[in-house]
Amino acid sequence: MADGVEELSGGDAVPEDADGVVLCKGQQDVGLPLSPNSFRQILRVKTTVPKGRSASLGDVFLRVYGENSTLPKSYRLRDAKGMLSDAALDRAKPTVVYAHGYVELSSDESVMAVVRAYQGRGDFNIVVVDWANLGFGNYLAVALDLKPIGIETGKALSMLLKEGLSPKGLHLVGHSMGAHLLGFTARSLADRGHPVPRLTGLDPAYPGFYPAILASPMSVHDADFVDVIHTDGGGYGAPSRAGHADFWPNEGRAKQPGCISATIPLTYEDFCSHWRSWAFWAESVAGGQFLSRRCEDYDTFLRGQCGEEPSALMGIDASSNLRGNFYLRTAARAPFALGERGAE
């Protein structure tokens, strides 16, 4: 099971009547909202630096994944030029740069689900910004480190673009704090003459960024097209519009369908809605059709009062011409995309 994705039935068989007709299960069985991984994120917060890493900009990595590789080639930011001779990097292909969130590792499912989805497509260079060495410990301190990490990442990518990597297809995708980190990266690239075509935020981190107390959040000024998927708005994720096109699946708030309704704060289960953003993104990369409609708000959408608006795709195939707030429904478990039904 992927991180943050909870089965509604807890893995039990779906009940049937004597004729084999599936019966609707009214609610989940009562039980403690805990699992063997429940306190993983809390333990990571109490860890200053992941084992084997150092808390310095020099230990931030760009990890390059080939189409069939399970282990990436890794390059420190200062050594990024070596990527140009890497067989996994095709200068003619568009490049996706993905940044994970706070207290996450590049080996977590939140990263690998996205990597596998892009590998399945085979039409992108896949680069992961591994900043876990500066992403553990005190939340405030981590937030304050985002700007220098973003600037140095921008410098490294700028060098690659100058040496022939295609700037036209550059797409920055960040989850949670990673979205704000890539906002700084996009500004750094623009300052060096490389405006970013697209920046995607997957439930950008909320505390300390809205308003901008700790650091400047990602914004519409960071790229030609900025799209945002909200899944825990007002909780761990941004509570309001942050892009040119903002998508609000299931109102964009907790609890997302299929997530446990009662959870202990900061536990693995409590992040279920926040993590749905990357699960939806990975599914869209793999071909899932998340159709939405622009609407005034979710209630108006549910009342069917936005039917005159054309349906619009959420995810990798979102049109760069989209502007406004878009609403949709999803399934409670993977595959989440409902196609046209999700926009009804």
288 falls within a domain: yes
- Pick the residue with more confidence: 51 or 70? 51
16 falls within a domain: no
Band of pLDDT at residue 15, cut at 50, 70 and 90: very low
Residue-level pLDDT at 3: 44
Listed residue (180, 174, 187) closest to 210, CA to CA = 180
Take residue 184 and report the two structure tokens written for it.
């700084």
Stretch 113-139: mean pLDDT: 97
Domain CATH number, residue 173: 3.40.50.1820
| 178 contacts 129 by C-beta, under 8 angstroms | yes
Residue-level pLDDT at 17: 42
**Main-chain phi, psi angles of 40, to 5 degrees:** -60, -50
Band of pLDDT at residue 1, cut at 50, 70 and 90: very low
- Domain of 251 in residue numbering reads as 40-343
| 14 contacts 22 by C-beta, under 8 angstroms | yes
21 falls within a domain: no
240-257 pLDDT, tens per residue?
Answer: 999 999 999 999 999 999
246 falls within a domain: yes
319 falls within a domain: yes
216 falls within a domain: yes
What one-character DSSP code corresponds to residue 203? S
Residue owning tokens 């011409």: 321
One-character DSSP codes across 10-55: TTPPPPB-TT-PBPP--SPPP--S--TTTTHHHHHHT-SS-TT--S
Stretch 101-109: mean pLDDT: 97
Residue-level pLDDT at 28: 45
Whole-number Å distance between alpha carbons of 59 and 128: 14
| 208 contacts 214 by C-beta, under 8 angstroms | yes
Take residue 224 and report the two structure tokens written for it.
């030609």
Stretch 196-209: mean pLDDT: 98
Number of domains observed in the structure of the chain: 1
Whole-number Å distance between alpha carbons of 249 and 58: 38
121 falls within a domain: yes
DSSP alpha helices (H): ranges in the chain?
Answer: 40-45, 109-121, 139-162, 177-191, 272-285, 298-302
Angle, vertex CA 32, rays to CA 27 and CA 36, nearest 5: 120
DSSP alpha helices (H): ranges in 57-106?
Answer: none
